[in-house]
Structure 1
């Protein structure tokens, strides 16, 4: 029995499988990078929109007369609350850090 044709076939199959796996992995990385970029762009767009609307609201509050400083502070706090802009809490040192995608999804 001649082993050369069998070994050639097996080597060709192995090369084909490895090449397919590498191509799929590269394609997955590209798609993952595109998805991360799209997600980042969505988050930046949402943030910019919120900041713009909040700025307009704060400008309107600044131009308005308020009977007292307490009422002005209350109106400012209420404007921040209604805007959806939440202050970031610092992460504990040594804690687990979320990836940018997980962080963005948690705050979206």
Structure 2
């Protein structure tokens, strides 16, 4: 009877250890998926912002062409599509800031479509608002990933 009890305890301990290892591995995999998605989303936001900034710094570009390019760059930057993945994968503490950053980027694109150029206040105010939203997003992402600030 003692041997059977010892075997049961040993099997139970092994199963518990395996379950703990599996949970730890799952957590690591999920965190890596979020880390990769966060990096892709931040890259898409930054890429789009840089393309919009190039347009804003081209005051000789006709207004209609500037508007067309701004809309095109916003649509092709990739952030709009990635927001759906963010909504599915990220916790709400990250989804909110990710949506705000995308809205500020959209506002920046809209200001170009409305005729704003660098260094006009419409552009600089929008650019600063996007920068603030981006910093809020980075902070939320670091917190979610338990990364140092």
**Fold conserved between structures, TM > 0.5:** yes
19, 28, 35: which one aligns with 2:29: 35
Select the structure that is richer in helix: 2
1:15-54: per-residue Cα shift (whole Å, max 9, x none)? Answer: 1111011101110111111112211111111112112211
Q: Which has the higher contact order (CA 8 A, sep 6+)?
A: 1
The alignment's C-alpha RMSD in Å is 2.4
Greater Cα radius of gyration, structure 1 or 2: 1
Q: Paired residue for 1:63? A: 57
**Alignment CA distance shift 1:55-1:100 (3 Å):** closer
Q: 8 Å contact 2:34–2:89 — kept in the other structure?
A: no
TM-score by length of structure 2 reads 0.51
Task: Give unmatched runs, 5+ long, in structure 1.
Answer: 1-6, 90-96, 102-108
Pairing 1:47–2:49 present: no
Give the whole-Å Cα distance in 1 for the aligned partners of 2:15 and 2:33: 27
Give the whole-Å Cα distance in 2 for the aligned partners of 1:52 and 1:26: 39
Aligned length: 87
**Alignment CA distance shift 1:33-1:84 (3 Å):** same
SS at match of 2:80: coil
TM-score by length of structure 1 reads 0.67
Q: Paired residue for 1:106? A: none
The 5 A counterparts of 1:1-108 are 7-64=1-58, 65-68=60-63, 70-86=64-80, 88=83, 98=88, 100=90
| Consecutive aligned runs of 4 or more in structure 1 exceeding 3 Å deviation | 97-101
Give the whole-Å Cα distance in 2 for the aligned partners of 1:100 and 1:20: 33
